[in-house]
Amino acid sequence: MSPASDLLAATLAQSDFHPRLPQQRRLYEAAKTAIHQNLLAAGKRLPSSRDLARDLGVARNTVIAAFGQLAAEGYVSSTLGSGTYVADLQELSAGMRRGAGAPGAPADAARAAAPLSRRGAELTAFAAGPRYEIQPFAPGDADFSSFPFKLWQRLQNRVWREARADLLDYGQSGGYLPLRQAITEYLRISRSVKVSVEQVMITAGTQQSLDLCAQLLADVGSTAWVEDPCYWGARRVFQARDLLLRPITVDRHGMALDAADLATEPRLIYVTPSHQYPTGAVMSLARRRELLDVAVRKNAWILEDDYDSEFRYTGRPLAALQGLDTDNRVVYMGTFSKVLYPGIKVGYIVVPPALIAPFKSALYDLQRPGQLMVQAALADFIALGHFTTHVRKIRQIYGARRELLRRTLAAQLGSQLGHGVAISSEESGLHLVVELPERTDDVALAALAAESGIQVKALSTYYLAPPLRRGLLVGYAYVTAEKISYYGKLLAAVIQSGVRR
């Protein structure tokens, strides 16, 4: 038996070496591994297929098939009458780089050191995912454990039993029609949105809605006005589309335009007027009318993100900005991820009549939407009244948790309240803000809280311009009453330690 045969036989004899693969595939893997590890050196002549089959006790066709695969992938080369030889992988790699037009080693090293584009590096510098794990007080998280799983399963099963082939397609008309009809009725009644079914399109959530707007309504280098502080997801979308962001200060009445802002020419204006994220401010009627007038004068589009309108705990939900628009300058968007569960990835966008055709076309051509089965189940969920029941239930749960958190923090913070420390009083949303004295390092406080297993966010990190306010965003939706009492006391102690400094 030749050394090559002996090496391959020893590898194949290992019980854990790809035991479930066909024999020809195992032989291919054994030879490839040996070549990569330089156990079969470059230029080495392999045994003939007949000799190797005899040495390994396998059919010759098995060896021929394995050799054929190795040759097809460039690991070996064969010459009629001469034999099969191991290829030089280093020489092969160098040749491939030269063939691709690589200028040489320095350029290769530079690419290895900087695998991302400049834009890619900027977009990934803020790793949102790991920071939004489900932990006590994580802002923006909903308690989807309250979702009616069994009911939802029955609705989905019924859709699948109907076996409708059209629901397996991408969907070319802006989404499942009964769902669009249900959303239209819901928005008219609960949000005072002026809307027809044709204006409603189903997206994979607010991020996709924003991305469509950035692509269709703005060009590279266009200016986008954004609230400051601002929802990080909107910033990332606009940056990914190479828009120039102009931060507009937010006060207790919402976006506050000054003369310098008005001297610029925005193409997009991104706002969360009903419950500003992250401060919780509600845009006043005067500011809303001003913004609509500015949009008309500057030929800009207002992107209204109505991300959590269902969670208002006193009185009726506030009317949408879009309902005041008489010039068709507002693109309205919402999502089911907050009120149902994040992974449902179903949102909606309401576009002015002039944008219906281009948005419907782009949604299909650029995004290839689907999930019509989920959309059909959701349409039934709304039409049968389950959505309203679910919203009413979780609104009561979240409202009670919010009040408990406020009481717990107020009791622990005591005399510090009113002396640079304040707890936001807005009766809506999924988080509250603990405002801190101007010189407080809220980033350090958030890190200190994380050491106690508490996931809060520093308000200053949401600013594009130098932060005007310091504070902590404290979520209360995904945390039980028992944990609110326990972790609320821990958080208060963290805040006290930071303020005393």
Query: What's the pLDDT at 136?
Result: 66
Work out the mean pLDDT of the chain and round it to a whole number: 87
Query: What's the pLDDT at 111?
Result: 47
Residue range 409-435: average pLDDT?
85
**Helix or strand run (H / E) with residue 255:** strand 254-255
Q: For 445-492, what is each residue's pLDDT tens digit?
A: 999 998 888 889 999 999 999 999 999 999 988 888 888 989 999 999
Alpha helices in 279-429 (DSSP H): 285-298, 356-362, 372-383, 386-413
Query: What's the pLDDT at 368?
Result: 80
Which residue ranges form the domains of the chain, and what is each CATH number?
Answer: 3-91 (1.10.10.10), 176-369 (3.40.640.10), 391-500 (3.90.1150.10)
Query: What's the pLDDT at 210?
Result: 97
pLDDT band at residue 140, thresholds of 50, 70 and 90?
A: low
**Selected residue with higher pLDDT from 291 and 342:** 291
Query: What's the pLDDT at 439?
Result: 87
For residue 380, pLDDT over 90 is answered with: yes
Q: In 10 A of CB 20, how many CB atoms?
A: 6
Residue range 132-159: average pLDDT?
78
Residue range 350-358: average pLDDT?
96
| Distance (Å, whole) CA 290 – CA 284 | 10
Percent of the chain with pLDDT over 90: 54
3-state secondary structure of 68: helix
**Pair 442, 470: CB distance under 8 Å:** yes
Query: What's the pLDDT at 303?
Result: 98
| Distance (Å, whole) CA 78 – CA 75 | 10
Nearest of 14, 77, 9, 11 to residue 43 by alpha carbon: 77
| Distance (Å, whole) CA 131 – CA 462 | 14
For residue 89, pLDDT over 70 is answered with: yes
Burial class (CB in 10 A: 0-12, 13-18, 19+), 356: middle
**Lowest model confidence (mean pLDDT) among 119-123, 394-398, 407-411:** 119-123
Residue range 23-27: average pLDDT?
90
| Distance (Å, whole) CA 170 – CA 368 | 6
If phi > 0 it is left, if psi is from -120 to 50 it is alpha, else beta; for residue 185 that is: alpha
The rounded Cα 102 to chain-centroid distance in angstroms is: 35
Query: What's the pLDDT at 286?
Result: 95
3-state secondary structure of 374: helix
* DSSP 8-state secondary structure symbol assigned to residue 407: H
Query: What's the pLDDT at 134?
Result: 57
For residue 415, pLDDT over 50 is answered with: yes
Query: What's the pLDDT at 73?
Result: 85
Query: What's the pLDDT at 132?
Result: 47
**Selected residue with higher pLDDT from 352 and 76:** 352
For residue 106, pLDDT over 60 is answered with: no
For residue 45, what are the CA distances in angstroms to 3, 9, 75, 86? 11, 17, 12, 7
For residue 129, pLDDT over 80 is answered with: no
For residue 98, pLDDT over 90 is answered with: no
| Distance (Å, whole) CA 207 – CA 215 | 12
**Helix or strand run (H / E) with residue 36:** helix 23-36
| Distance (Å, whole) CA 498 – CA 448 | 9
The rounded Cα 172 to chain-centroid distance in angstroms is: 24
| Distance (Å, whole) CA 113 – CA 142 | 39
Q: For 251-304, what is each residue's pLDDT tens digit?
A: 999 999 999 999 999 999 999 999 999 999 999 999 999 999 999 999 999 999
Percent of the chain with pLDDT over 70: 91
Residue range 430-453: average pLDDT?
91
Residue-wise DSSP of 96-164: HHHHTT---HHHHHHHHH--S-HHHHHHHSS-HHHHT-S-TT-TT---GGGS-HHHHHHHHHHHHHH--
**Pair 301, 333: CB distance under 8 Å:** no
Sheet holding 422-423, edge to edge: 422-423, 431-436, 470-475, 457-458
Query: What's the pLDDT at 404?
Result: 93
> What would the 3-class secondary structure string for 303-337 be?
EEECCCCCCECCCCCCCCHHHHCCCCCEEEEEECC
Residue range 193-213: average pLDDT?
95
Query: What's the pLDDT at 114?
Result: 59
3-state secondary structure of 209: helix
Q: For 149-184, what is each residue's pLDDT tens digit?
A: 999 999 999 999 988 887 887 777 889 999 999 999
For residue 117, what are the CA distances in angstroms to 110, 111, 218? 12, 10, 22
Query: What's the pLDDT at 117?
Result: 77
> Helix 23-36 to helix 60-72 angle, to the nearest 10 degrees?
50
